[in-house]
Amino acid sequence: MSKRLECYVSVDIEASGPVPGLYSMLSIGACHVGDPTKTFYRELCPLNDNFIAEALKVSGFSLTELQHQGVAPTQAMHSFEQWLTSLTPNNERLVFVGLNATFDWSFINYYFWAFLGRNPFGISGLDIKAYYRGATGCNWAETTSRHMDQQLHPQQTKSHHALEDALYQAELFREIRQQLLNSSQKK
């Protein structure tokens, strides 16, 4: 039985709070990990007026502005699904990659199911923090982006803009994979 090829997609979101449904996903940024020139970005119309002030401060979004300028969630998720499909012409398995994937994954999964009735990523995602911990043997406190930056020296930086952060995460993931490859070749 041959292995199914995998397509790693770095995904980051900005939201108005910590829980999908109660709070809104405000933007989606994504890139193909192996070819970061392939990107996706949308700002979404909020589901409701709920927000945590710190979340809006971090993202810099205004719910009022997004009500007028954001894309409807159904349209955004349909566009995202089409973009994802374009990355896998040979039906590769899509792999969601995120930094603190549990947060971003929860919103992406909720929105795909709520607005399209399906999730092209399936039911799983790969968390860069856990991947880094497994690769290095560090403790959980050393899986912060700040610590990874000091060890991996990425060119990208974290900015709280969904696309920029997706590109940053993809670079971290590539660096960790390369270090694992290098260490396995030395054995």
Query: Which pLDDT band holds residue 157 (cuts at 50, 70, 90)?
Result: confident
Cα separation of 66 and 70, whole Å? 4
pLDDT at position 9 over 90: yes
What whole-number distance in Å separates Cα of residue 46 and Cα of residue 44? 6
Order of strands across the sheet that contains 6-15? 39-43, 25-32, 6-15, 93-98, 125-127
**Secondary structure of the chain: what % helix, strand, coil (to 5)?**
50, 20, 30
Contacts of 54 (CB under 8 A, 6+ apart): none
Active site residue 147: no
pLDDT band for 180, please (50, 70, 90 cuts): confident
Classify the phi-psi angles of 160: left when phi > 0, otherwise alpha if psi is within -120 to 50, otherwise beta. left
List pLDDT tens digits, range 14-41: 999 999 999 999 999 999 999 999 999 9
Delimit the domains of the chain by residue range.
6-186
**pLDDT tens track for 104-125:** 999 999 999 999 999 999 998 9
Whole-structure pTM value: 0.94
Spatial contact of 164 and 120, defined as CB atoms under 8 Å apart: no
Active-site residue (options: 78, 147, 160, 161): 160
> Tell me, which fold does domain 6-186 have in CATH?
Nucleotidyltransferase; domain 5 (3.30.420)
